[in-house]
């Protein structure tokens, strides 16, 4: 049996789309599950869409997500390098290879030179649309002899090379997700294989590359399904062994439409910036269109590899549910070490202006306690700013109705005055003192239970519910607690 070899072959047109990451992930899982090889190839034959830095960003996104590969394009010491025995892995460096195979198709009569202008092609398509036909090339140049075509080229005429599909021919293939598929060539265009700029189209390059790189399974989005007959026909005329095809369902939003930039986050960088953990995003993304037999929802990369198969991939588009993603991501935040989550939180806190680099250096243990205090309540790291804001505020405004009601209680001024009095006797609040602090206030006032704790919480945080009160005392410290109580007594207690 052949060694399983799969590839992810994106175009360097900007960012890595979340749907692209899922395609890469499924390739990765399938390769690892079958002890195969996973290749990263860059398909840059459309030079008009090339974006500077896109290859580096793409590789960085895969690396961040933990989707590793064995061959292809890598970044080392800031430079793009290629590793493996089937290179180059960047299509624009393979132009001579494609030219050789295009020439072979022309000589054997499976492709032809086409001299139609853009204006003529547009006119043909418009006429076809008016007649209610599927717009496609009308074969105008199919019967130009090779001799005449070469003369016209020698005279400097611009041309493309098109695939010469046979008429009324059923192309059959089996898709691991969709089953047996039959498409008739009468419904397919004579596809351009070589553009006028000398670059191959996707359709030519992908077949040549996949064959020469010994790709056994082609795993890609379902938008490529209509192109597959052209690719299979090329395999047939070259006499090459055909790969197995897997067309994945599209990642959809809640309205069952394709995820697009207009509707919000779609790039891996967007999700990274919002504070999703790589394992949270990967775990959730694996479940958008696939599920394990036992319907387990929290899965490590190792478990995903162990359980993955294309038999469990859905035929219909997978819904990308942000709430479900947040739930999965929250699980990983809660199960991570406080050191990791603190380090991830620091850039958000610096950006919010709460802390600076010097603060991090001298008060790291304090920051750890701060993050530990809110870690259970986080779904994404970006939420940390909102969750800890109350600690950094000079004054706390009490807005919630239940909190306002609590602070108006008749015993409140007694409790707050006792807190002020007690704090006069100490220099700083350590953990041991904080743990026994409210017992001292109870003893001094005779107030206990909710009547004691709730007003203290509201006065210090502005809310009736929240994180561990002992931690709040330590985090605020003596001076801030006194300031807050003075402010509340002056502004909320008559």
C-alpha to C-alpha distances, 74 to 84, 91, 329, nearest whole angstrom: 11, 15, 28
Of the residues 254, 261, 315, 420, which is catalytic?
A: 261
Neighbour count for residue 350 (Cβ, 10 Å): 14
pLDDT in tens, 183-227: 998 888 899 999 998 899 999 999 999 999 999 999 999 999 989
Query: Is residue 448 flagged as an active site residue?
Result: no
Average pLDDT, the chain: 92
What is residue 260's predicted lDDT score, i.e. its pLDDT? 66
Q: Residue 296 pLDDT > 60, yes or no?
A: yes
The mean per-residue pLDDT over the stretch 238-254 comes to 92
Question: Structural domains in the chain?
Answer: 5-89+252-312 (3.40.50.620), 91-248 (3.40.50.620), 336-391 (1.10.8), 401-493 (1.10.10.350)
What integer is the mean pLDDT of 304-310? 96
Q: Half-sphere exposure (CA, 13 Å, Cβ side) for 157?
A: 16
**CA-only gyration radius of the chain, Å:** 32
Task: Specify whether the CB–CB gap between 457 and 414 falls below 8 A.
Answer: no
Of the listed ranges 228-237, 250-259, 286-295, 444-453, the least confidently predicted one is: 250-259
How far, in Å, CA of 26 to CA of 12, rounded?
20
Edge-first strand order for the sheet with 179-184 is 179-184, 170-175, 244-248, 217-221
Angle among Cα 384, 304, 265 to the nearest 5 degrees reads 40
Report residue 53: phi and psi, to 5°: 85, -5
Instruction: Please report which confidence band the pLDDT of residue 449 belongs to, taking 50, 70 and 90 as the band edges.
Output: confident
Largest CA distance in the chain: 107
Distance CA 111, CA 98 (A): 13
Each residue of 371-422: pLDDT tens digit?
999 999 999 999 999 999 999 988 888 888 888 888 888 888 888 888 988 8
Which pLDDT band, with edges at 50, 70 and 90, does 264 fall under? low
Instruction: Give CA–CA dist 64/53, Å, rounded.
Output: 16
Whether pLDDT at 162 is above 60? yes
Gap between the Cα atoms of 389 and 401, Å rounded: 20
Q: Are the beta carbons of 380 and 341 closer than 8 angstroms? A: no
pLDDT at position 492 over 90: no
CA dihedral 55, 59, 65, 67 (to 10 degrees): 120
pLDDT in tens, 77-131: 999 999 999 989 999 999 999 999 999 999 999 999 999 999 999 999 999 899 8
Give the pLDDT confidence score for residue 262 in this predicted structure. Answer: 57
Give me the helix-helix angle, 412-423 and 469-491, nearest 10°: 120
Q: Is 108 annotated as a binding residue?
A: no
When comparing pLDDT for 426 and 5, which is higher?
A: 5
DSSP H stretches of helix in 313-363: 322-334, 338-351, 357-362
The model's pLDDT over 328-374, given as tens digits with 9 standing for 90+, comes to: 999 999 999 999 999 999 999 999 999 999 999 999 999 999 999 99
- Report for 48-52, 154-158, 396-400: range of highest mean pLDDT: 154-158
CA dist 357 and 346 (Å) reads: 9
Q: Looking at residues 454-462, what average pLDDT do you find?
A: 90
């Amino acid at each position: 049996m052949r060694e399983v070899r799969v590839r992810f072959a994106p175009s360097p047109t900007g960012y890595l789309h979340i749907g692209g990451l899922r395609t890469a992930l499924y390739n990765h899982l399938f390769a690892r599950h079958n002890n195969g090889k996973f290749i990263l190839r860059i398909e840059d034959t459309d030079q008009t869409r090339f974006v500077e830095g896109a290859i580096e960003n793409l590789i960085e996104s895969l690396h961040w997500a933990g989707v590793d590969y064995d061959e292809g394009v890598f970044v080392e010491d800031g430079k793009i390098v290629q590793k493996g025995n089937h290179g180059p892995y960047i299509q624009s460096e393979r132009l001579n290879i494609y030219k050789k195979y295009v020439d072979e198709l022309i000589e054997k009569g499976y492709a032809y030179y086409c001299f139609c202008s853009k204006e003529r092609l547009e006119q043909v398509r418009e006429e076809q649309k008016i007649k209610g036909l599927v717009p496609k090339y009308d074969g105008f140049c199919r019967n130009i002899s090779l001799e005449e075509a070469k003369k016209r080229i020698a005279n400097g005429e611009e041309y493309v090379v098109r695939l010469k599909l046979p008429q009324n021919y059923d192309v059959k293939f089996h898709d691991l997700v969709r089953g047996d598929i039959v498409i008739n060539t009468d419904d397919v265009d004579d596809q351009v294989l070589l553009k006028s700029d000398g670059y191959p189209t996707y359709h030519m390059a992908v077949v040549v590359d996949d064959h020469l790189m010994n790709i056994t399974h082609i795993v890609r989005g379902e938008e490529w399904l209509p192109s597959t007959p052209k690719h299979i026909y090329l395999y047939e005329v070259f006499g090459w062994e055909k790969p197995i095809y897997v067309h994945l369902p599209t990642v959809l939003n809640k309205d069952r439409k394709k995820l697009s930039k207009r509707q919000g986050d779609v790039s891996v960088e967007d999700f990274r910036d919002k504070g999703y953990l790589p394992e949270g995003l990967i775990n959730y993304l694996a479940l958008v269109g696939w599920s394990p037999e036992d319907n387990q929802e929290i899965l490590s990369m190792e478990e995903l590899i162990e359980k993955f198969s294309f038999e469990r991939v859905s035929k219909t588009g997978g819904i990308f549910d942000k709430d479900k993603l947040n739930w999965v991501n929250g699980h990983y935040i809660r199960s991570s070490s406080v050191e990791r989550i603190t380090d991830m939180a620091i850039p958000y806190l610096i950006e919010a202006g709460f802390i600076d680099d010097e603060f991090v250096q001298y008060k790291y243990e304090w920051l750890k306690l701060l993050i530990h205090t809110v870690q259970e309540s986080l779904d994404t790291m970006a939420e940390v700013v909102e969750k800890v804001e109350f600690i950094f505020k000079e004054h706390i405004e009490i807005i919630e109705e239940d909190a306002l009601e609590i602070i108006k209680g008749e015993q409140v001024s007694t409790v707050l005055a006792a807190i002020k009095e007690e704090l006069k006797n100490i220099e700083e609040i350590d953990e041991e003192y904080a743990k026994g602090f409210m017992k001292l206030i109870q003893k001094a006032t005779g107030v206990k239970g909710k009547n004691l704790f709730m007003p203290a919480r509201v006065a210090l945080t502005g809310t009736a519910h929240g994180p561990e009160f002992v931690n709040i005392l330590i985090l605020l410290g003596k001076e801030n607690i006194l300031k807050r109580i003075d402010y509340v007594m002056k502004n909320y207690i008559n």
